[in-house]
Structure 1
Amino acid sequence: MYRRHWPTALGLLAAMMLGWYLIYTELLVREMRRDSVAHSRIYVHILRGLNDPTEGAAEQTLLDLIEEVQALEVPIVVTDADGIPAFVSNLPFDADPTELNDQIRIARYTRDLARRNTPVVEPGLGTIYFGDPPIVGRLRWVPMLQVGALLVLFAAAFWMIRHNLRVERERIWAAMARESAHQVATPLSSLEGWVEILRLPAEEREPLASISAVAAEMEADLERLEKVSRRFEWIGRPVRREPVDVPALLRGLERYVRVRLPQLGRGVELRIEAATELPPVLGNAVLLEWALENLIKNALDALAGSGGSIVVEADATIRRRVAIRVSDDGPGVAPALRRRIFEPGVTTKTSGWGVGLSLSRRIVEDVHGGRLVLEPTEQGATFVMTLPSADGAERSD
């Protein structure tokens, strides 16, 4: 059986055990009701014997009671003062108390009964050994069935959780691979464009860009490739944090995105607004730039085909923190997705993998101890990234 079928098999086994447990319980209930009927009949026989004035009624009542007791299937052995069996009923084997060989066998059985229940000594009659009714033996299986069903359920739940985690992990890895390919493809396509420009004759190339400008852009693309190679390496492991100049970070990101706006989002206006004298934040510049880039790309995807504006604002807040808002005037996020928008795999795009916002939140919250939320708005979408300032983080340490 394939490993992926184990959760289903365990779930079916657990369902079968629960079904069997329910049937078994119903059979026990029916047997207990039959015992209740037998006990009621015994009571009726006693009342009848007490109220019957005819001769021999008492003896007949006792004989009827013996039959009713035998119907309860409780094993009983009565021995005389010498320990010799005088009366037996409902033994699990055929035996004659008058036969010597059977007496030996019955004696062994009485010792077993004595271990289960304390014998009753009746002066003038002898010792009464008795066992348990059949229902007691069946009731002993109930805890075992319950424990077995619980174990199977726990095993099924464990395997299902492991299976779901493995599927989720594989899906995230596939999304990460796709995101990595996308991250690499952008600067590679840009380098390919710059190479085509360099191949043009000088008289055609100069109106487009000078050699120094092309070299500067190619250098920026190479730096971007180096950053991409480090980004995925740093996810999930401790990184060195240092003071990061937020306005400088935003300006560098603006330069990179603005040059590529014709390819990334036609008709989209990008505006950066950073407060003056903004305190630096304590973090990793490469990862923070990645998180902001994902938010801007998310806004570009929301405005694809329709145009619009993206505004990135940064200002200081109380409690020594810096807030960075990325807003767009696109269609916004559907109410049904607002609570799950940061979960891996959740996306509003038909061809998306739902990994960008999840990575951004992980970078902001897990790596930098900040917070990333989707702010309620009437139009468009606004993501707010709150980060501790370098001064505030050092004081809290």
Structure 2
Amino acid sequence: GSGSIVYTNRLVDRLKEGEEEKIELWAKAVEFSGSALADESSLTFITNNIITPANTLPVILVDSATQQILLSRNVVDSLSTLDEREEQLLQTLQKMKKENEPFPITVRNASDGSISDIQYVYFRNSYILRQLRSYPYIQLTVIAVFAIIAYLAFSYSRTSEQNRVWVGMAKETAHQLGTPLSSLMAWLEYIRSMPEMQGRSELIEELDKDVERLERITSRFSNIGSVPVLKDEPVYVVVKNCLDYLRPRLSSKVVMEVESSFEELNAKMNKPLFEWVIENIVKNGVDAMSGIGSIKVTIGQESANEVFVDISDDGKGIPKSKVKNVFRPGFTTKKRGWGLGLALAKRIIENYHQGRIFVKSSQVDVGTTFRIILRP
């Protein structure tokens, strides 16, 4: 790209020098044709071989004393009105003064050869030369546009492939879980009907919870593997129920609370998937606190088009250098972590709910706050 610009600029400079030499020769020819030394044969030669052939560039001849335009060539449109031609002449003259230094023409008296006037030849470079100067930049722009289009197409293709992998894995997982789950549910009903199990209600209840848990997981993977249906759900109720479900399954030293001044606030969501996001973030917070601390969920509405859910913990926090990577698949600070929880949460919120999820704030040894934004 830079080589093309350098080469073109050198070529333009050479062509410009040639045009300047042509204008200078034209100016000298005009000067000579007005002198007393020019005879008829010389005037004919100069007119036919110098003045007329060089009359292809935009040229304006100006009197130095009065600044009056004496002559112009290839400047104005012959079909324009007189006022339009005068305005165009003045505008072009200003451009010529900025672009090139003029060539002087000395006018002498025929009687004694003394200088009677000085005139200046102003000129512009040819249209082709001006276009040639901008050509490499246009060329680079076109190349850049094609490169951007190719990059976007490649990114879209890669993203589509990742989406297909996610969906395929989710569908296969739901399918693999579905078959043994159906058998477990049948066995649970059989065990429940056995006479010797009538006094073992606590065992049946625990088995029920485990089967319900597997049903929940299967439903989540099934929703990821298909187009999820979004419904108006009360955000406070969904979050509270999710925390109530998690509370007995987490450390007893973790305190969880929900705070909202809008208990009737609704948002478009797929309930099983949204609960999965809350569960992932809460469990990450509990791990960051080593099982001791508090989780606070704040629900609110900053505008008519946004409902936010802030999930805060008082764990060890995230260093600033790692904040931008927390949603990247494979990123984890756990020794045995897969690094998929937050990546999955980001996909659920942004791809399926058309919302946003990000780290609102984080300080080392103070805690972290994640913010989820949904459409009401």
| TM bucket normalised to smaller | 0.5 to 0.7
Work out whether residues 285 and 315 of structure 2, in 8 Å CA contact, stay in contact via their aligned partners in 1: yes
Distance 1:245 1:306, change over 3 A: closer
Identity of aligned residues (%): 12
Structure with bigger helix share is 1
SS in structure 2 of the partner of residue 160 of structure 1: helix
Specify the alignment match of 2:267 in structure 1.
Answer: 283
Specify the alignment match of 1:160 in structure 2.
Answer: 147
Residue 308 of structure 1 aligns with an amino acid whose one-letter code is G
Distance 1:377 1:347 in 2: 22
Distance 1:212 1:157 in 2: 61
Q: Does 2:288 align with 1:324?
A: no
Instruction: Please list the CA deviations of residues 85-123 of structure 1 after superposition, one character each: whole Å capped at 9, or x if unmatched.
Output: 4169xxxxxxxx5xxxxx9xx637643445655499988
Specify the alignment match of 1:76 in structure 2.
Answer: 29
Matches within 5 A, 1:225-304: 225=221, 227-230=223-226, 232=227, 242=232, 244-254=233-243, 272-275=256-259, 278-286=262-270, 290-291=273-274, 293-294=276-277, 296-297=279-280, 300=283
Distance 1:163 1:233, change over 3 A: farther
TM-score (norm 1): 0.51
Distance 1:257 1:150, change over 3 A: farther
SS in structure 1 of the partner of residue 295 of structure 2: strand
Distance 1:83 1:174, change over 3 A: farther
Specify the alignment match of 2:220 in structure 1.
Answer: 224
Work out whether residues 277 and 345 of structure 2, in 8 Å CA contact, stay in contact via their aligned partners in 1: yes
Work out whether residues 299 and 309 of structure 2, in 8 Å CA contact, stay in contact via their aligned partners in 1: yes
Structure with bigger strand share is 2
Specify the alignment match of 2:135 in structure 1.
Answer: 148
Comparing 168-177 with 250-259, which one deviates more in the overlay? 250-259
Residue 84 of structure 1 and its aligned partner are, at CA, apart by 4.8
User: What's the RMSD between the two structures over aligned residues?
Assistant: 5.6
Distance 1:275 1:188, change over 3 A: farther
Distance 1:115 1:248, change over 3 A: closer
Instruction: Please list the CA deviations of residues 292-349 of structure 1 after superposition, one character each: whole Å capped at 9, or x if unmatched.
Output: 53354356468779953683524557889865332456654331243x458x858734
Q: Does 2:354 align with 1:362?
A: no
Matches within 5 A, 1:48-59: none
Specify the alignment match of 1:86 in structure 2.
Answer: 42
Distance 1:218 1:336, change over 3 A: closer
Residue 137 of structure 2 aligns with an amino acid whose one-letter code is L
Residue 233 of structure 1 and its aligned partner are, at CA, apart by 5.4
Aligned residues: 299
Structure 2: segments with no counterpart, 5+ residues: 60-70, 73-104, 112-120
Instruction: Please list the CA deviations of residues 251-301 of structure 1 after superposition, one character each: whole Å capped at 9, or x if unmatched.
Output: 554577789x7xxxx989876523488522232230x65355335435646
Work out whether residues 288 and 315 of structure 2, in 8 Å CA contact, stay in contact via their aligned partners in 1: no
